[in-house]
Amino acid sequence: RKEVEQDPGPFNVPEGATVAFNCTYSNSASQSFFWYRQDCRKEPKLLMSVYSSGNEDGRFTAQLNRASQYISLLIRDSKLSDSATYLCVVRGYGQNFVFGPGTRLSVLP
Amino acid sequence: DGGITQSPKYLFRKEGQNVTLSCEQNLNHDAMYWYRQDPGQGLRLIYYSQIVNDFQKGDIAEGYSVSREKKESFPLTVTSAQKNPTAFYLCASSTTSGRDYEQFFGPGTRLTVL
């Protein structure tokens, strides 16, 4: 089993749609959780950290369920500019970052 | 502006040649990392360093070498022993203190073997 798994994608959605990405991780000792966004042929950039209490940043909401070892990202009112690959990233205490394979999103006009 | 720079942006290499990819950061981060990304794939860790003059192998270190003589710099050499070096190479850095720290990435170097 891979350490971090994500929905295989791609997701093709119309503008204005709500889309949800799922991620599971295998290391129960993981302590830090992130969603990164990667545009085509560019470097990954931090979208948001994920906390146990859940957190929201504008149209983006991230949730963490430690018991189920599950992370989610919800994008509301999708924009064309949201088209990218979304990477789930997990880090254990004192350990390195482990990246999921990513889920590609295409928002269609 | 603080950040991470990588050079060159594009690099072409003939088979059998060694090449060195540059990575510099002015974020005062202790840790630096090198990743490889193949088309449609996730990031795979090549090497990382948490302190000057020390580094560790990642998941795919064979055919690569690094050095960490300065805190700001972490160059990666792709040797002729790397059988399939064509890929997108990403350098990252992070602090090592606190609990929830993230990685910052450079713009990447796209290496093509001819």
Q: Check residue B9 and report its DSSP letter.
A: S
Partners of residue A100 in chain B, C-beta under 8 Å: 42
Residue A34 confidence (pLDDT) above 90: yes
Residue B4 confidence (pLDDT) above 90: yes
Partners of residue A101 in chain B, C-beta under 8 Å: 41-42
B43 close contact with A: CB closer than 8 A: yes
Residue A2 confidence (pLDDT) above 90: no
Task: State the residue for tokens 């880090």.
Answer: A91
B42 and A87 within 8 Å at the Cβ level: the answer is yes
B27 close contact with A: CB closer than 8 A: no
B108 and A43 within 8 Å at the Cβ level: the answer is yes
pLDDT tens digits, B45-97? 999 999 999 999 999 999 999 999 999 999 999 998 888 999 999 999 998 87
Q: Report the C-alpha gap between A22 and A50 in whole angstroms.
A: 13
A43 and B107 within 8 Å at the Cβ level: the answer is yes
B46 close contact with A: CB closer than 8 A: no
Half-sphere exposure of A67 (CA within 13 A, CB side): 0
Average pLDDT for chain A:
94
Q: Report the C-alpha gap between B36 and B90 in whole angstroms.
A: 6
